[in-house]
Structure 1
Amino acid sequence: MWKAPIILFAAVIWFLRIYDNGRYCTFPHAIEFLNKRYEDIFPILTSYPELENYLSPFMDAWLGGAQDQLQGQIASAKIPLSRMISPQLYWVMSGDDFTLDINNPDDPKILCVGNNPDRQNIYGAALGLYNSRIVKLINKKGQLKSGIIIDELPTIYFKGLDNLIATARSNKVAVLLCFQDFSQLKRDYGDKEAAVVMNTVGNIFSGQVVGETAKTLSERFGKVLQKRQSMTLSRSDKSTSISTQLDSLIPASKISTLTQGMFVGAVADNFDERIEQKIFHCEIVVDNEKVKAETARYKKIPQITDFTDENGTDHMKQVVQENYERIKAEAGRIVAEELERIKNDPVLCKLLPEQN
C-alpha cells in the first residue's frame, strides 16, 4: 500500500520536530533516521503519544509476525529517499540560512533554484519539497507582492500548483509557468491536473506549437463571424453569393507556422480596468541595444559562503563532507539516546523487543 511509506516518513518528520525543539528537523536528518533499524525506530516513535497512532499499523504488523510485509513497506519508503543521499544535497538542505517566506514584509527575499538535467529525477524531488513549502508560506494575506516564475515546468513536480493559480491572485502572488508543449504537462502531471492548470490560467502567450496544443489554443481564442464571398462564372451569366460562417479567430494551422518573434495569446482584465483587445497575434519587438545596456549594468551575485582559507586553499569538499558525516552521526546519537531513555523508563521499556 503506497500510503504506508508516506505515513511512516511523516511520523519521522513529526518526531524530529518534537525532539529537542526541532533542532534536527531537516530533510537529511529524516532520511538518516529512517535508514536506521526498524527495531530501533519503531519503539522510539511509539514512545511519543503524538505519534502512537501513526505507528499503530506498523507495530501491529511487527508484533504479529508480519515481518515480510513490514519490510516491504519500509523499503518502499527507504529506496526512493536513498537516491537523495549525497553530501552536496545534505549541505543544501540542512542548516537555517534563511526562511522560505520570501514575501515577508519584514524580511523579503529573492530565491532562485535550478535543476540538474543529469539528475533531474533526484533533484526534482528536493525542489518539489521546497516549492510545496513556499506555496503554503507565501499564499496568504498581508504579504508583499510577489511572483513565482517556473521555467521548464514539466521537469519538476509542483504540488498544489492548480490551487495556487486559482487563489494566488487575491493574495498578490503572480504565477508564471513556462513549458514547451501541453503534452509535456500531461505526461508529467497527469491528464486531470494538467487540464486544471491549462483551464485556470488567465493569460497565455504562445509561440510556435503544433498538434493538440495548437488546436487547444485555437479553441481557447474562440471563433469570429466571417463573411465569405463566392463567384460563379458562366458563358451567359455571373453570379455572386455572400454567406457568413463562424471560423477560428486564430486557426491552428497559423499557430503551428509562427516564425521566431511572433506570438499569439490572450490576456485577462479587471472589473475597473477593461481590455478591449484581449486576443492578439503580433510580433514582439525587442530593443537589442536597450537589452545590452541593461545587461551591462548587472551586478555579480554576492558570495554568501566562502570556503577558502587565508592561504587561498578551497576547502569546500572537505566542509561539505564533514557536514554529511555530522548529520549521520547526529542521527545515530539521537537513536542511541532515545533507546537509552526508553530502556530506563519502567513503562516504556516494554516497547523494546528484548523486554517483550
Structure 2
Amino acid sequence: MQDKNKGYMGMYLSAFYFVIIVFHEYYALYVYHYGQQPLLDKTYTYFVRSGLPTKGMMARVLLLGLLMGGIMIYRPIKKENIDRTKSVVGFTISLSILFISGLPYGTSLSGMYITLMLLTCSYLGLMTYGMRLFQFLDFMNLAEKDPFNDANETFKQTEERIDTPHSVNIPYAYTHKGKQRKGWINFVNLFRSLLVIGTPGSGKSFSVIEEIMAQFIDKKFAMVIYDFKFDTLTRKANGYLQEAKKKEGDNSEIPFPKLYRICFDDLRMTHKNNPMDPYRLTNQSDAIDTAATLMKNLNPEWIKRQDYFSRSAISYTGGCIWYLKKKSEETGNYICTPGHLTILTTVKIDILMEIMTKDVEVRQILVPFRDALEKEAMEQLSGQTSTVQISLSSMATKEIFYVMSGNDFSLDVNEPRYPKIVSLQNNPERKEVYSAPLGLYMNTILKQVNKPGKRPMALIIDEVPTLFIMLLRTIIDTGRENKIATILGLQSVGQLILDYGRELADVIYANCANVICGAAKGETARRLSELFGKIHQERISKNTSSSDVSTNWSTQMMELLPKSKIASMSTGHFAGLLADTFEHQIPEKKCYGQLLPDIEGKERA
C-alpha cells in the first residue's frame, strides 16, 4: 500500500511539473487571450528567475523521469494478454512527440498552439502506454524466451588447440551464455579407441571419420579402412594421400604409405591377397580362428550362439583349412585358399573324413566327427557338414576366388619401411557375401599389426556392426601399447548389441575411452546423457498476483545433455567425451557443438 501511495505521489508530482512547463512556455498565449494578471505575472517572473528547468529539452527529460518513476513505484496490475507491439509502438511515438514539442517554434501563435497540443498528447500517451509497458515488462514468459532450457544446458569448453604428433584436431562452434564461441575437439589419445555414433545423415563420416583420415595421412600413419559403402572412403583416402604428397613431397626420410585395395566388385581396381596363406597359419588355433571368422560372418546368429552345432561346424571347417595348409606345404602346390576350401567341403563326408584323419594334427581337430563316423551317425554328420557347404557356397564366385588367390602385397600394414593404407571395400547390396572374406582379411591383419616396434596406425571401421571381427575387443584393449588408433563408426549402440551380442557390445562400448555422437535415440541417447552427467542449473520461477510478480531463484542438479536434445541434433552437431594423456591434459573433456570440417580440403581431395 505504501508503494502505491508513493507511486501516486510520483505521478501527481509529474502532473504538477507538466503544469509548470505548460505555464512557463505558454503563458504568452494566456496573456494574448485574457490579458495580464498581477499574480500570474509574479509567478511567471519567479519561475524565470529561479533557474529551474521548466522549459525546453531538459524540462522534458525531467518530466519523463518523474512520470516513469511514479509508474514504476506504483506497480500497475500485471496482465499477460496485453498487446505488446502496440504498447511499445505507442510509447515510442509518444516519447518522440514529447521531444519534438520542445523544438524552437519562433514567435508565431500557430507554432505555440501546435507544440502545446503535442506536449499534452505526448504526456497522456506516455502515461497510458507507460502503464501498459510496466504491466507486462516484469511478466517475461520464460517458456517463450527459452522453451527448451538451452541457456542452462551450456558450459565453457576447450578453446585451445592441443597439437601433438598423434593428435587429430577438429574446430567447432558452440554456444555459452547466449554467445557463439569457437573451440577445438582435441583427440590427443585416439590409441584408446574412438566410437563415432550417429543415425544415417548425422554427418559422422563427413565431419569426423574423413577428418581423422585426412590428418592421420598428413602425419604418415599406416591405415586399414573398412569401406562399407563400396569406395566412398577409399576415394577420399586416395585424394588426401595425393594432396599430402603434393604439399610435402614423397622424398622425405619417413615415406608416405602406399594405397592397396581389396575390391570384389571391380577387378580392375583390386589387388590380390590370400588371408589363408599357409605361412600365416602357424598352428591349429590359427585355422580354427580363420574358420570361426568365416562361419560367424556367413551365419551372424552364431556370434551370440555358442552351441554344439555351431562349434562342430567351425571345427570341421578348421580341420579342412589345416588339411589344405599341410598339403600345400607337402606338395608345393598353392592350394590353401578360400576357393580350394569351398571345393574341398563338397566332397562326400565319409570319403573326406577317411582321407583327412590320416593326418595326426587334422585328426585332433576332427575327433568328434571321427567318433560320429565310427558310430555311423551319418545324419548328424551330414547336418553339420551341409551347413558348412551351404555357408561357403555363398562365397563361390569367381571374383572372390580371384582376389583371394595370390599375394600382391603383405598384410603387415604398419611395417615401418613399407607402410600401407589397405582399403577393404564392401557393398551394401552384397554384404552377406562379402562380409565373410572381408572379416577374414581384417582378422588376419590385426594379428599381423598388433606388435611392438611398428609405425603408428589407424584402424578405421565405418558401420562396424556389418562386419564381425574376432579380434576387435583385443585390438581395443591392447592396441594402445602398439600405437594403433581404433575408430569405430556405428549408427546406434542397439545396432551393435543386435549384431555382436549385448555382452561383447557392452565391453566394446565401455573400453572405448573416446566417444563422439551425433543425432541418436533410445539406448544410445541414454548412455551419452549419462556420460555427460549433471550440472547445477539456475531455476527461475515467477508467481504473478494482481499487484505484483515475485521471482524465486534457485539451483538444481539436472542433466547437462538430455536425451531429447541428443535426438534432435542437426546434421554436423556432435557431443562427445575425450580422453587425454599425462603429457597433454584436457581440463574440459566434454564437447558439444557444430563441427567445422575442412571443406576446402575435402573439395581438393
Aligned to 1:159: 470
1:177 aligns with 2:488: yes
Structure 1 residues 191-202: aligned runs within 5 Å: 191-202=502-513
SS in 2 for 1:110: strand
**Does the 8 A contact of 2:459 with 2:485 survive in 1?**
yes
1:189-248 deviation line (CA, Å, top 9, x unaligned): 121222122221111222212232222211111111223233434457765444332111
Query: Identity rate of aligned residues, in percent?
Result: 38
Q: Cα 1:169–1:46, aligned 2, differ >3 Å: closer, same or farther? A: same
Aligned to 1:139: 450
1:72 aligns with 2:380: no
Q: How many residue pairs align between the two structures?
A: 294
Cα RMSD of the aligned pairs, angstroms, is 1.9
Amino acid at match of 1:92: V
**Does the 8 A contact of 2:328 with 2:336 survive in 1?**
no
Q: Cα 1:247–1:158, aligned 2, differ >3 Å: closer, same or farther? A: same
1:301-330 deviation line (CA, Å, top 9, x unaligned): xxxxxxxxxxxxxxxxxxxxxxxxxxxxxx
1:156-191 deviation line (CA, Å, top 9, x unaligned): 222222222121111100011112222221221121
Superposition TM-score, scaled by structure 1 size: 0.77
1:82 to 381, 386, 393: 393
2: CA distance, partners of 1:247 / 1:281: 17
Q: Cα 1:279–1:59, aligned 2, differ >3 Å: closer, same or farther? A: same
Amino acid at match of 2:453: G
Q: Cα 1:290–1:26, aligned 2, differ >3 Å: closer, same or farther? A: closer
Deviation at 1:287, TM superposition (A): 4.2
2: CA distance, partners of 1:13 / 1:141: 29
Aligned to 1:48: 359
Q: Cα 1:60–1:210, aligned 2, differ >3 Å: closer, same or farther? A: closer
Aligned to 2:143: none
Superposition TM-score, scaled by structure 2 size: 0.47
2: CA distance, partners of 1:88 / 1:141: 35
2: CA distance, partners of 1:49 / 1:106: 40
2: CA distance, partners of 1:3 / 1:154: 22
**Does the 8 A contact of 2:342 with 2:392 survive in 1?**
yes
Structure 1 residues 341-356: aligned runs within 5 Å: none
Q: Cα 1:246–1:115, aligned 2, differ >3 Å: closer, same or farther? A: same
1:15 aligns with 2:323: yes
Q: Cα 1:290–1:7, aligned 2, differ >3 Å: closer, same or farther? A: closer
1: CA distance, partners of 2:375 / 2:581: 62
1:261-315 deviation line (CA, Å, top 9, x unaligned): 22211111012210012111111123433432x32xxxxxxxxxxxxxxxxxxxx
Q: Cα 1:160–1:290, aligned 2, differ >3 Å: closer, same or farther? A: closer
2: CA distance, partners of 1:289 / 1:119: 33
2: CA distance, partners of 1:130 / 1:114: 11
1: CA distance, partners of 2:368 / 2:384: 11
2: CA distance, partners of 1:127 / 1:290: 30
Aligned to 1:344: none
2: CA distance, partners of 1:58 / 1:106: 46
1:109-154 deviation line (CA, Å, top 9, x unaligned): 1110111222211111111111111111111211111011111222
1:256 aligns with 2:553: no
Aligned to 2:311: 3
1:26 to 337, 346, 358: 337
2: CA distance, partners of 1:57 / 1:281: 56
1:217 to 515, 522, 528: 528
1:281 aligns with 2:592: yes
Unaligned runs of 5+ in 2: 1-308
